[in-house]
Structure 1
Amino acid sequence: PYLMPLAFASLLGGMTTLVGTPPNIIIASFREAATGDAFTMFDFTPVGLGVALAGVLFIALIGWRLIPTRQAQATPGETIEIADYMTEVRVTEDSRYVGRLVRDLEELARDDVAIVGLIHRGRRYGAPSSYQIIDTGDVFIIEANPEDLRSFVDETGFRLEGFSNIRSDVDKAVASDDVALLEAVVVPNGQIEGRNAAGLHLHSEYGVNLLAVSRSGARIASRLSRVVLQAGDVLLLQGRTELMLAALPRLNLLPLADRDLRIGQPRRLVIPVAVFVGALLLTIFGLLPIHVSLVAAVTLLLLSRFITLQSAYQSINWPIIVLLGAMIPVGGALESTGGAARIAALVTDLGHTLPPWTILAIVLVTTMLLSDVVNNSTAVILMAPVAMGVSEAMGASVDPFLMAVAIGGSSAFLTPIGHQSNTIVMGPGGYKFGDYWRMGLPLDVIIVSVSVPLIMWVWPLGI
């Protein structure tokens, strides 16, 4: 029950500073366009901190009790018992694959059979090279369901081995000094969402094997090559460490657990952290806007070769960039065509019968609901022009309405698709789509109850 609270806490914490979450940076740019001055680093703190404290207290005392208890995904080899799904086959003397390459077996197996290990002349190899020559007496450790296993044995002429030492062989083959075994989660709008393993060609293109897929904490038992991957799915992957490190960013996968997979070297992290802190200080003291200081930090790391151009390019979530690039003109069109003003007029018409704070609450709640179904940055881009139009129609300051949009954009607590943090914990926590509103709905009510008075106190309406 602790992963969803952790995800929600990360969203609450992001409300407190300019760089805590992308919506805050976007709102700061809208404020600069409207008034000539952007929100600074800690302008979000008075309201954001109050909301975060109220939210964390609710989660810690009551909220976590509202989450359904289900079997969560454990570490590799626990919930997904690897050896239970693997088999050893021996290369016979009369097999037509003797003298050929492992690559030929991979082409035969496609993604229905994963070749995860090889015992060649008494030596074990994890994730054998595609160019390894097959010899008589070699033993392959493969992962397949019974139907695919039968077809594989019939086609190759290999012989099924006994199972007395299969668990020992699997443990030594699937993860060793140069072979990694880890779980990774499919992120929303990632490269592999909506695709199946057969179309990805994971081993031939990336050099990794897909051993299992878990969805909502339960292993998917159907043929992996035909499973359409969804955001939040947990993939159990195996491959050589260097290939795994290269494959994760290319596939837009986030690692959840690993066995001796080193993502970075601690000593090399000192300078990048120092550069990042320096960029933040430049923004805090008003010397550079945040988007300039962070780009300068990345440029410095590239020039000093702490990161490569390829890794920097692969780490960019291009679907989100394209989505935001498409939504920015939409937000601009809402403002330039008068659409935002018309929507604002409809909202402010309610102001004749309702107090001003209710209009602020309407803007906040609308942004909240929108951020639950689209990317939170997109929700902010669409709602900011409307909020500015409402403030203009009411003759009020734009600041409280932009702050309401910022809070609402970071309050994606009702669904797993509103924010990446929610999606990441869905598979490992064994959560279902409908679990999020159980704690998210009362949390939203608390956020509205706390944030509206705080916003009006810190950022007065001026009417």
Structure 2
Amino acid sequence: MNTELTIVLALLLGSMVLFIRNRPRMDVIALMVIVALPLTGVLSIQEAVAGFSNPSVLLIAALFVIGDGLVRTGIAYKLGDWLAQQADSSEARLITLLMLTVAAMGSVMSSTGIVAIFIPVVMSVSVRMGIPASRLMMPLSFAGLISGMLTLVATPPNLVVSSELVRNGFESFSFFSFTPIGLVVLFFGIGYMLFVRRWLGSSGTGKDEPERQTMHDLAELYRLPERERRLRLNADSPLIGRPLNELELRSEYGINVIAIERQRRFRNLLQVATGNTVPQPGDILLVDLASPAIALLGAYQEIGVTPLELETSYYSTHSHQLGLAEVALPPESRLPGKTIQELAFRSRHRLNVVGLRRNGEALAGLLVDEKLKAGDTLLVAGSWKDIDRLHILTRDFVLLSLPTEIKEVVPAARKAPYALLSLGVMVALMVSGVVSNLMAALIGCLLMGAFKCITMDSAYKAIHWPSLLLIIGMLPFALALQKTGGIDLAVGGLMSLFGDAGPRALLATLFIATAVIGLFISNTATAVLMAPVALATAQALGMSPYPFVMIVALAASAAFMTPVSSPVNTLVLDPGGYRFSDFLKIGVPFTILVLLISVILVPMVFPL
């Protein structure tokens, strides 16, 4: 062992110790590595900073932007809605559907990209279902890694080992050669995550900032669920064709129309109610009653509506468009002494007053002739755009608080078809191989920008720079280990110890060697190094090369053990609030499980 290799191993060990301690931050450790390697003379400064121009790093940055486009246009949240709806409040069902969906999509495009796109989806579902993000982010990353075991194009290591076969005169793997083994790993992966989720903690998003109240919290605080109703307009209703301002439903019947669900071209649209809103045949009115005990049967018949079942609060159902906000009356306000009717909130601010708290207690009902007092807080409902305007109206009231769903506001909802088109073009280019994955992602970003699905400001904010710095800082270790002979020394030692064992023991040895090396360098580089070793081993034993190179490909995707062994794990580290030890605790046993599955199944699918 030469001096330079000793230095590299010492730096590697020191970095791992700091990672485990989680002090300082991981991106800071990565910068320390970039500085230390040139100072020791192991690498030049150009080699140490080469990660900043690495295509994989740029690809991850581009995919963050693509994910932001899907968020801004509402596609990510609609997918989250679908997952939450299908899960039906079951965490187990949610994890199962999430892993199946991510694995299926990751089998035809970058697993890193899929995880980057799904992070905001999972965060949204986490808030809505009240499930800590820490219980969902690791299943997300594991599914992304398992997707690399499903098809030939799912991950670069699969293509690397297949091209090595061709270079040595053998036929390449087919598109679905990996699928039988990958499906079994996925099945066991889902079962494993359902079992170990109890140890993933309940740390939420891992953020230190205090959490805002949700729409559900505000609705409960102001006792809205007692007064929410959903009414369908009958064909002969006298409300049809007349603006809400003329109907005087609130003063005459104690009924306040908050929004209208309207059927258009096989889908439901939500229209937040204003004074000029005109009900149409077939509309469903989302209303707030003046009092939960109000007698409505006669009123329903008189205005021609039919009550419908309301399973959940419509504020939660339509949280992407319909918002809630608390406003307080400051000392200089001119509103105390006025009634809610006199405020004319709907006509002046396009918002509805739906709740009133006095001395910390919510009133059971909301009568239009209720006079306001100093210190009262009001709950208003309307579109997020109109709520946002309250920031500049500070004389008579101040915006007190906004729910956490404000983060899910969709500023470019009408651009959703263009975002899907941009995503489709990117995926098609990646699958076809016409251009590189990086070029495909950059083309997707340009299309997102051209269609105004994203802005330059939102694109820069979407990129998670700490994750990129961590990846950039770890890349020089691969070159340093290669230059100093560390890789050759590790592989040679493993083969000398287990070279005389049986074929299954050799397969296990190759898997372990690949997985261990993959802890420190990229899985693509690991596959490049280990594929020739696997082929040489098979030829020396006079056996088929396919099971040996397949085991290398599978092990290269089995990067479950540390947060820095794959960009997929790094991406979920911060959103999941994980520590280095969490991946060791969950990832090591699952890697052993994948090892056993691979050693058993690979010789069955590809006979020795």
Q: TM-score, normalised by structure 2?
A: 0.39
Radius of gyration: which is bigger? Answer: 2
- What's the TM-score, normalizing by structure 1? 0.49
